[in-house]
Amino acid sequence: MSIIYDSDAKTFTIHTANTSYQMQVDKFGYLLHLYYGKRNQGNINWGLVYADRGFSVNPYDAGQDRTYSLDFLPQEYPGQGDGDFRSPAIILRDKKGTFGSEFKYKGYEIKAGKYGLDGLPAVYASDEEAETLVIDLVNERLGARVSLYYGVLPQLDIITRAAVITNEGKDPFTVERFRTASLDMPAGRYDLHTFYGRHTMERQHERMSLGHNSVSIGSRRGMSSHQYNPFVILSDPDTSEISGRCWAMEFVYSGGFAAEAERDQYDQVRMQMGLSEDRFSYPVKPGENLTAPEVIMTFSSEGFEKMSHALHRCIRRHVCRGKFRDIARPVLLNSWEASYFDFDGVSLLELAKQAKELDMEMLVVDDGWFGNRFDDNRALGDWTANEEKLGGSLGGLISRVNNMGLKFGIWMEPEMISEDSDLYRAHPDWALTVPDKKPARGRSQLVLDMSRDDVREYVYDSVCNVLDSGNIEYLKWDYNSCITDVYSRSADDQGKVLYDYMTGLYEVLEKLNEKYPDVMIEGCSGGGGRFDAGMLYYTPQIWCSDTTDAVDRHYIQYGTSFGYPSSAVGSHVSACPNHQTGRVTPLKTRGTVAVSGSFGYELDPARMSEEEKAEVREQIRGFHAVNGLVRNGDYYRLADPFAEDCSAWAYVSEDGSEALISAVIMQNHGNMHNVFVKARGLTPGSVYRDMRTGRMYAADALMDLGMPLAQPHGDAESYVFHLERVQKA
Ligand code: GLA
């Protein structure tokens, strides 16, 4: 039993292998948060401190007892209206416009298995692997019930949260704020970690000490965004990779989000994650309900490494689905950086021929194969192949590529519409635009109104038509604009549109997953603009960034690794000078970096020398040798590229029998000092053999002294050591 209700103390305790989480229903019916940390025993209600504090208001039920105030007591799901002036998790307005969301405990239920969420992605698990706790809170005045969902995967140290608000009253109310998870931490000093960025430079790790303020990040773009990832960590100031406490929250949602950490007057910290309030104001009529998307939480008392391992396992095995979750993904050649829009049927077949000769396994035809799409100003929405450009039907092209012994993949951007398209000429009202206002365009395009049934039907049918036109085994689902104009011609209330857009998108993706279990869908949004656990429920990998520069990718893949497994990271080798940065890096290094994800190429092999082609073949052989380990092994961040000259990381199989250590010395210097990379995760007392050189290494020495890297020649030199354990202690 991982969930225990103590009816005398009225405490709920959730235990995982290494953590405990505790709440208590107090004498006035408020649900207080007692503890989230290292696994513990017994009730920890002695942690609550009551005092008469100036300017703290007291709930009516407390009578003359001024030592009871929600101004400082740790709450599990803080509302508004009973004296807690910190950030509320939920804000409601009744039909008169009155604010207030004071909630009291009503009841609970404990169930085997993991709850699911209607129409939203969520962690899944078998009944043996998980348990669910549902706690109901009510606001009698509004007739509102909030059901707090806790999913527990004890072996993984994962606790998930979701919240559903139901209108059980007679009048409608409006949800003005809906955060899924709130976590009140006792007084102390904490660091907040965020993963900020921009297009082609996503998920940069930033660590900041929390002052007496409220730090909030989020996205108002209708997408999880390049700018802030929906993933945050709170830690002790001295937490490192291998020691110290940290708490993580990761949103299973791809739309706008809000994450906040507030340090209050008494040094306590409240950490929250949920839906963005931007252009969100969701009416809930009697009998209706609304769900706050899931947040995955984990706690580690042994640093960020353990935290990431728990999140990686959770995403790999309990978020990603379908047959591609567990199998090697094909090595692909993508046409984008090879030729952008400048291709035809003949050049594509030439690309396929080259790919085959280099032992690649799939040709992906990126943007430009449909309608009048000769550049990125037109034709989105017109998902019929341009047969003139392709020199025949799409089906014919696919067969020819298949006959060359290659799989075939294709690019689409189904949620978008160009004004210069047949679709827009027929259905201008299908675009999200505000009446009497000229819409703001992103990449010259508009966004389709996915909250509409007829639009969703069109999008689904267009994707099916494309996928049915031949043996397509991979679909790159792109999304290249933010949502600026929020107005749906079919909505009864515009405050619902952004949320309904997202559930509409998920509905289409769910149906496509069901209908095409053998097609792998890769998520993409100008690279990593929608790199989140919500998309990973439908697409087991996501194009991590539009930069293929091997140096920039270190920072991006380093940041990404805190919350997401390598199996989710789309990563390709491209030509040099790099198209995004103009930088030249060794082909070997480009391979070392790209192999640490879902691997492929994004270049024109015809422009490579014979030596480079031989190196690519070698790279692909190397990829096959390590890919199982990269997908399933535990990931170790061995050096921080933000802080050190070197970037280094490793994968170690769960049983410790195999390891892959990769390193890159980012910048060479005159008479360069020696660089050692300290391994982790190897079996202590054992001996490992480098499979390439045959050299033997004592595991403890590798973890203590480190692996010496040979003197580099030039910048961004890379080093790879594939080790097998040959002697156990
Ligand atoms: C986005 C993607 C790229 C490519 C282009 C095509 O930018 O991230 O990989 O597919 O669109 O237009």
Mean pLDDT over 692-696 rounds to 97
Of the pLDDT bands very low, low, confident and very high (cuts 50, 70, 90), residue 615 is very high
pLDDT tens figures, 418-469: 999 999 999 999 999 999 999 999 999 999 999 999 999 999 999 999 999 9
Confidence of residue 1 (pLDDT cuts 50, 70, 90): confident
**Could you tell me how many residues make up the chain?**
729
One DSSP character per residue, 648-708 reads EEEEE-TTSSEEEEEEEE----TTPPPEEE---S--TT-EEEETTT--EEEHHHHHHT-EE
Distance (Å) from CA 527 to ligand 1 centroid: 7
| Closest listed residue to residue 418, CA positions, set 404, 408, 405, 428 | 428
The CATH fold assigned to 77-318 is Beta-galactosidase; Chain A, domain 5 (2.70.98)
Averaged pLDDT, 680-695: 98
* pTM, to two decimals: 0.98
Residue with CA at minimum distance from ligand 1 atom 11: 526
327-631 matches 77-318 in CATH topology = no
Q: Is 262 in the pocket of ligand 1 (CB under 6 A)?
A: no
Give per-residue pLDDT as tens, 168-227.
999 999 999 999 999 999 999 999 999 999 999 999 999 999 999 999 999 999 999 999
Binned at pLDDT 50, 70 and 90, residue 645 comes out as: confident
% of residues, the chain, pLDDT over 70: 100
Indicate which atom in ligand 1 lies nearest the CA of residue 411: 10
Rounded Cα distance, 178 and 293, in Å: 9
Query: Does 262 participate in catalysis according to the annotation?
Result: no
Cβ of 413 less than 6 Å from ligand 1: no
Structure letter (DSSP) for residue 156: G
Q: Of the residues 129, 612, 618, 690, which is catalytic?
A: 612
What is the whole-number distance in angstroms between the Cα of residue 426 and the centre of ligand 1? 26
Fold of 638-727: Immunoglobulin-like (2.60.40)
Give residue limits of the domains in the chain.
77-318, 327-631, 638-727
Starting at the edge strand found earlier in the chain, the sheet holding 11-15 runs 3-6, 11-15, 19-25, 31-38
202 touches ligand 1 (CB under 6 Å): no
Residue nearest to atom 3 of ligand 1 (CA): 526
Could you tell me the distance, in angstroms and rounded to a whole number, from the CA of residue 367 to the centre of ligand 1?
7
**Cis previous bond, 577, omega within 30:** yes
Whether ligand 1 lies within 6 angstroms of the CB of 409 is answered as no
**Cα 523 to middle of ligand 1, angstroms:** 11
Q: Choose which residue among 198, 226, 332, 336 to substitute to test ligand 1 binding: the one with the highest number of ligand atoms within 8 A of its C-beta.
A: 336
- Cβ-contact 180, 274 below 8 angstroms: yes
Residue 572 Cα to ligand 1 midpoint, Å, equals: 13
Q: Is 527 in the pocket of ligand 1 (CB under 6 A)?
A: yes
Paired residues of 196 in beta bridges: 204, 228
| pLDDT tens digits along 45-58 | 999 999 999 999 99
Q: Say what the pLDDT of residue 283 is.
A: 98
- What residues contact 579, with CB distance under 8 A and at least 6 apart? 337, 548
Q: Classify domain 327-631 by CATH number.
A: 3.20.20.70
Instruction: Provide mean pLDDT across the span 287-293.
Output: 98
Ligand 1 center to 482 CA (angstroms): 14
The rounded distance, in Å, linking the Cα atoms of 581 and 572 is 15
Look up residue 702 and give its DSSP letter.
H
Say what the alpha-carbon torsion angle 443, 475, 467, 469 is, to the nearest 10 degrees.
80
Measured CA to CA, the distance from residue 246 to residue 244 in angstroms comes to 7
How far apart (Å, rounded) are the C-alpha atoms in residues 409 and 331? Answer: 11
Alpha-carbon Rg for the chain in angstroms: 27
C-alpha to C-alpha distances, 290 to 133, 142, 166, 535, nearest whole angstrom: 19, 15, 7, 20
Mean pLDDT of the chain: 97
pLDDT at 728: 80
Mean pLDDT of 94-106: 96
Reply yes or no on whether the pLDDT at 479 is more than 80: yes
The confidence band for 672, taking pLDDT boundaries of 50, 70 and 90, is very high
The CA distance from 179 to 496, in Å, is 15
Of 177, 192, 331, 316, give the one whose Cα is nearest residue 257: 177
Residue nearest ligand 1's atom 2 by CA? 526
Our answer on whether the CB atom of 367 is closer than 6 Å to any ligand 1 atom is yes
From atom 7 of ligand 1, which residue's Cα is the shortest distance away?
526
pLDDT of residue 729: 75
Taking the C-alpha atoms of residue 599 and residue 553, their distance in angstroms, rounded to an integer, is 13
| Closest atom of ligand 1 relative to the 527 alpha carbon | 8
Which token pair is 422?
A: 């047949």
Catalytic annotation, pick one of 71, 382, 478, 532: 532
Active site residue 612: yes
Q: What was the pLDDT predicted at 623? A: 97
